[in-house]
Structure 1
């Protein structure tokens, strides 16, 4: 199993050590939420060498295909490449999807009403955000992003947060990492590409955006909110996000990650968890970010005009101020 040894100094007194009771409670919560499931021994097994008797009565060693399916038909879970039998982590649950869709509807309803584009009693537009043909053209595989985009409704506004907007059709199709899997098929096996969900002005290098190899081979990427769902095969959660801003935040030493630590100066640390003591490299959930955006719109901290949330991308510099840093922190370690 992967460990924290190559990432953290385990003698650091500031690490967020947890009581064993807290760790076990967290895993119980994951089981109850359907995020961790026990798989039948026949599911997801690799081919193995075994004795096979031929028609001539001779026995030879051949590769024997497993009898069970690759994916659990009930949960969609795949077996980890590490021997954690019978447990495996589910990339996303029905509850994850419905919670996100509910927040999506609430957020855009509030923005549309505040912008004057819709009355409170008026029924919302039911056109889906993206057609299945559009998803196919953008190279979006079946999974959380696919299900979300094909079920979420098309809003009447463009800007969902300051300087962050829905993409135009041509932008949506031209995903920045669309061709990486074809160039690196072995390295990206079992990994889904980072998906650019919402756009912001400007571009940064892949290094500044902290995308891991081989996605870091793309020299320049657009700014915006990415579904960075599969940072590695051991952490399969598909609803994790990465906000990439056109400027670094954290230089004023006021911005904080959601674990309460001072943020390192970075283009991608706004909404970051900081140190997650329960699992490696899990970005903030999309629901946590949508909740934060909804809070900022409802409270009036973010203003709204006919195009949606106003203020421009420079508004995000408030995350590094004494007065407003707490308005740019996501919920910490939500299931």
Structure 2
């Protein structure tokens, strides 16, 4: 099976159309992994293909006429029998219930700018979204038969973003590989009937709010950053040490949270500036805000000496209305430090991610039209508008964010990716180091909106 996984040793293949062999193999592996992890026997797995389940050539020829040969080949190879026979029901993945029925392949798909009824077959809803996630008008994974790429849509309302003409669609095998990577790391977990946790099970899938790998890989990234700075500091290392656990009182850290695990286990550093204009936080601005039981407040990890910038949005009546990077119940606090925050979360909710983070700057960037999120969108662009984007609106909270997430809905960028990029910036000499640590000051982040350097501040698409 390893030859089908998408890795550096086995990269994407050059094929005509959809790489149906690889995609079917990855699809079937996801089915098998979820089936066995949920306590079911492989001997009970219905391995009939989608094509067999819906009557084969005799019944499906009218549909096949609108599908590319490689998509037909995929549907003749990918297992679908389990979806109609399993008791209790078995969803293909956390976000996707399973392959669509023939009558749903062309339902609920927005038309491209050059599409009409005579050419409607271009966009195929290959997988149906998992309705249990509570999205308004669930859609699914849509496949473009012209470019042979795909995009996951939790809701039909996503299509105005994904089909704006600027979004990057991905080969189907990359999306399926992303799902398998989540399973490998325990980010998406199939559980059996003995599961009694608080998170709602979307049969059989739960999504833990963080994993052992999340903590370990974030600690490794922080250690890499610290070592990169310390080995480049002029002269002997300073005598004063700093610990991440200084950012918050130990009594406020639950050992069962990502923040509790990461902050307590992170190594000491012998410098003060962890990134341009940022040091280990000495305050927590949101501790006075009451939250519902079990929900976690934002945690300030690295702070600036300046306050966060207040982004605004023009209301229909013309006024500039403040917009906050935090939910409404935190908006009573209007002055708080710029810096890097672990964002608020509900560990038992539908979208429970404790390792998501947000860098909030003391000024907005993006006016020059270079700063971009991972999906290629300009900061402050109207993502729902078709065609070339209008003048972007500068924003203070978009740096390093994913934009439209191709794999997971409502997930701020993982902290480990930001720390790894910071380490790269030091290792490659793009950030310099002085006696206090990373030099440059808080104005250094303006480089993210320059023609020559914006790519240094854009992270790759990930989950």
Which category describes the TM-score, using the shorter chain as reference length? Answer: 0.7 to 0.9
* Residues 96 and 133 of structure 1: CA distance in aligned 2, closer, same or farther (over 3 Å): closer
- CA–CA distance in structure 1, aligned partners of residues 412 and 208 of structure 2: 16
Give the drift of 1:132: 11
In 2, are the aligned partners of 1:239 and 1:286 still within 8 Å (CA)? Answer: yes
1:195 is the counterpart of 2:308: no
Which secondary structure state, in structure 2, belongs to the residue aligned with residue 100 of structure 1?
Answer: helix
Match of 1:288 in 2: 417
1:104 matched to which residue of 2? 222
Instruction: Tell me what 1:25 maps to.
Output: 177
Give the unaligned 5+ runs of structure 1.
Answer: 45-69, 71-77
Report whether the alignment pairs 1:176 with 2:285. yes
- Kindly indicate which of the two structures has a greater share of residues assigned to helix: 2
Partner of 1:262: 378
Residues 40 and 213 of structure 1: CA distance in aligned 2, closer, same or farther (over 3 Å): farther
Answer yes or no: is 1:308 the counterpart of 2:446.
no
Q: Is the 8 A contact 1:103 1:287 kept in 2?
A: yes
Aligned-pair CA distance for 1:249: 0.9
Aligned to 1:297: 426
Normalised to the residue count of structure 2, the TM-score between the two structures is: 0.56
Q: Secondary structure at the match of 1:200?
A: strand
Tell me the SS of whatever aligns to 1:214. helix
Out of 75, 79, 83, the position equivalent to 2:199 is 79
Pairwise mapping of residues 33-72 of structure 1 onto structure 2 (< 5 A)? 33-44=185-196, 70=197
User: How many residue pairs are counted as aligned between the two chains?
Assistant: 284
Q: 1:33 to 1:246 in 2, by over 3 A?
A: same
Q: Would the aligned equivalents of 1:263 and 1:269 in 2 still touch at CA under 8 Å?
A: yes
Choose which of 342, 349, 352 in structure 2 pairs with 1:227: 342
Instruction: Check 1:126–1:105 CA distance in 2 against 1; reply closer, same or farther (3 A cut).
Output: farther
1:326 shift after superposition: 1.0
Identify the residue that residue 239 of structure 1 maps to in structure 2. Answer: 355
- Is the alpha carbon distance of 1:320 and 1:193 closer, same or farther for their aligned partners in structure 2, counting shifts above 3 Å? same
Larger radius of gyration: 2
CA distance in 2, matches of 1:329, 1:149: 26
Q: Bigger shift: 152-161 or 325-334?
A: 325-334
Counterpart secondary structure, 1:316? helix
TM-score (norm 1): 0.76
1:158–1:308 CA contact under 8 A, matched in 2: yes
Relative to 1, partners in 2 of residues 1:195 and 1:241: Cα closer, same or farther, differing over 3 Å?
same
The alpha-carbon deviation at position 43 of structure 1 amounts to: 2.8
Shift of 1:267: 0.6
Asked if 1:163 is matched to 2:292, the reply is: no
Q: Kindly tell me: are residues 145 and 40 of structure 1, through their superposed partners in 2, closer, same or farther at Cα, counting changes over 3 Å? A: same
SS in structure 1 opposite 2:231? helix
- Rounded Cα–Cα distance in structure 2 between residues aligned with 1:320 and 1:213: 29
- Choose from 259, 263, 274 the match for 1:145: 259
1:21 is displaced (CA, Å) by 4.3
Say if 1:133 and 1:318 are closer, same or farther in 2 by CA, change over 3 A.
closer
Deviation by residue 1:253-288 (Cα, 9 ceiling, x = unmatched) = 011112222222211011011111222221111111
Aligned CA distance change for structure 1 residues 132 and 159 (closer, same or farther; 3 Å): closer
CA contact (8 A) 1:303 1:309 kept: yes
* Larger RCO (CA under 8 A, 6+ residues apart): 1
The 3-state SS of whatever aligns with 1:197 is: strand
> 3-state DSSP class of the match of 2:339?
strand
Mapped partners of 1:325, 1:17: distance in 2:
22
Matching of residues 120-139 of structure 1 within 5 Å: 129-130=244-245, 134-136=249-251, 139=252
Range that drifts further, 281-290 or 216-225? 216-225
* Cα distance in structure 2, aligned partners of 1:191 and 1:100: 22
Matched, 1:154 2:268: yes
User: Residues of 2 paired with 1:328 and 1:176: CA distance?
Assistant: 27
Preserved CA contact (<8 Å) 1:230 1:238 = yes
Distance across 1 between alignment mates of 2:170 and 2:432: 40
5+ residue gaps, structure 2, are 1-132, 136-153, 312-321, 381-393
